Amino acid sequence: MIVSRQKDFKVILELLKDKKNIFLVGCGECATTCKTGGEPEILEMKKKLEEAGKKVTGWAVPESSCAAAKAKVAIAKNRSALSQSDAVLVFACGAGTQCFKENDRLGLDVFSGNDTLFAALIDSQGNFKEVCSSCGECVLDLTEGICPVTRCAKGLLNGPCGGQKDGKCETDRTKDCAWILIYKLKQEKKRVADLKKINKTRDHKKALRPHFLSIQG
């Protein structure tokens, strides 16, 4: 799950200050779940833009905006409306916005209506929790499924710092120290001895951007 939030409407109007005819794009996956780019949000944005004097030429909510195949289908189905547009305003994550831009053959200006925040899991209460930094060197098998790179404010790999107090992080006393959580799980599973193993310094080259992965054989 990629968590995003809509930009302030004043910011959106500033982006579109020289544009009159706008086509709107959402996303049927993450942005729909976050309520930043599903059909209700797109229709609400359409109304607001029209009240602000813009013309919305059309809109689409692809099943997955970051998949080229889905973006191409949306573009093909809406080619007539797109050809009458000055710009496209995308309410998806940054990958979705760039995917639409890469597959647009009309050379339209493509703007992002959302700010992309983080990758998250959705807990049982419906909250979005950042638990993975996509660092390219996963240690979850060593840390009982708790990522210290993300959930420790300092990204420590070999136990808590001296600032933790009563199991809480020194940077925010409302948050659990990731390493205390890991230790407690090790205790429950009688694997505390695992913590004697020193984890090597992360290979930060594995987190260099941008990543590319081919799935071709």
Q: What is the pLDDT of residues 94-139, one digit of tens each?
A: 999 999 999 999 999 999 999 999 988 888 888 899 999 888 888 8
**In the predicted model, is pLDDT for residue 44 greater than 60?**
yes
Q: Are residues 8 and 60 in the same domain?
A: yes
Q: What is the pLDDT of residues 139-189, one digit of tens each?
A: 898 999 999 999 999 999 999 999 999 999 999 999 999 999 999 999 999
B/e letters for 1-12, b = 16+ CB within 10 Å, e = fewer, are ebbbebbeeeeb
Interior angle at CA 207, CA 203 and CA 210, nearest 5: 145
Report how far apart, in Å, the C-alpha atoms of 149 and of each of 19, 81, 162, 171 are.
43, 45, 17, 15
CA of residue 24 relative to chain centroid, distance: 19
**In the predicted model, is pLDDT for residue 34 greater than 70?**
yes
Q: Which domain holds residue 73?
A: 2-119
Q: Are residues 95 and 164 in the same domain?
A: no
**In the predicted model, is pLDDT for residue 90 greater than 90?**
yes
**In the predicted model, is pLDDT for residue 217 greater than 60?**
no
Q: Are residues 163 and 113 in the same domain?
A: no
Q: Which residue has the tokens 């890991």?
A: 182
The pLDDT-based confidence of 204 (bands split at 50, 70, 90) is confident
Q: Are strands 87-90 and 109-112 parallel, antiparallel or unpaired?
A: parallel
CA atoms 64, 67, 69, 71: torsion sign: positive
pLDDT given for residue 214 in this prediction: 76
Q: In what order do the strands lie in the sheet with 87-90?
A: 55-60, 21-25, 87-90, 109-112
Region 61-83 average pLDDT: 95
Range of weakest confidence among 14-23, 66-75, 123-132: 123-132
pLDDT given for residue 161 in this prediction: 95
Q: Are residues 78 and 173 in the same domain?
A: no
Q: Are residues 147 and 101 in the same domain?
A: no
Does the pTM of the predicted model rise above 0.75? Answer: yes
Q: The domain spanning residue 110 has which CATH number? A: 3.40.50.2300
pLDDT given for residue 216 in this prediction: 67
d(CA 97, CA 53): 24
**In the predicted model, is pLDDT for residue 87 greater than 90?**
yes
Report how many domains make up the chain: 2
pLDDT given for residue 205 in this prediction: 82
Token digits of residue 120: 């998250």
Where in the chain does DSSP place strands (E)?
A: 2-6, 21-25, 55-60, 87-90, 109-112, 114-119, 121-122, 128-129, 168-169, 172-176
**In the predicted model, is pLDDT for residue 24 greater than 90?**
yes
